[in-house]
Amino acid sequence: MSKMDELKSKIRSTSGSSVHPELIDSSTEVPTTPKPKKKKFEELHKRDTVWIENELKKRLDRESVENGRGEKTRIINEALRRYFSTNN
């Protein structure tokens, strides 16, 4: 017996006629399909170490503090996309 059937049985036995019939009517059940799993951050990104000029690093740190977590990653990815779109 599925969990839904168990719940319906419990409702039928404990509530009597105080439950709306729609809540326990199994003819209106719609089969559910599982949602596709969202890929993890680590599956979409690779960690890398690079050297950045001191002044650029200061500006990058300032921006990331003001705009929150993930801002450095966003800025660097955007800069690389722009670079590759104009140089290819």
* Residue 24, pLDDT score: 58
pLDDT value at residue 71: 93
- Count Cα atoms within 13 angstroms, Cβ side, for 46: 3
On whether the pTM is more than 0.85, the answer is no
Can you tell me the distance from the alpha carbon of 51 to that of 60, in angstroms, rounded to the nearest whole number?
A: 13
- The token pair at 72 is 């450095």
The encoded tokens of residue 85 equal 């779109």
pLDDT in tens, 34-77: 888 888 988 999 999 999 999 999 999 999 888 888 999 999 99
CA distance 17 to 58: 69
Please give the Cα distance from 68 to 19 (Å, whole number): 49
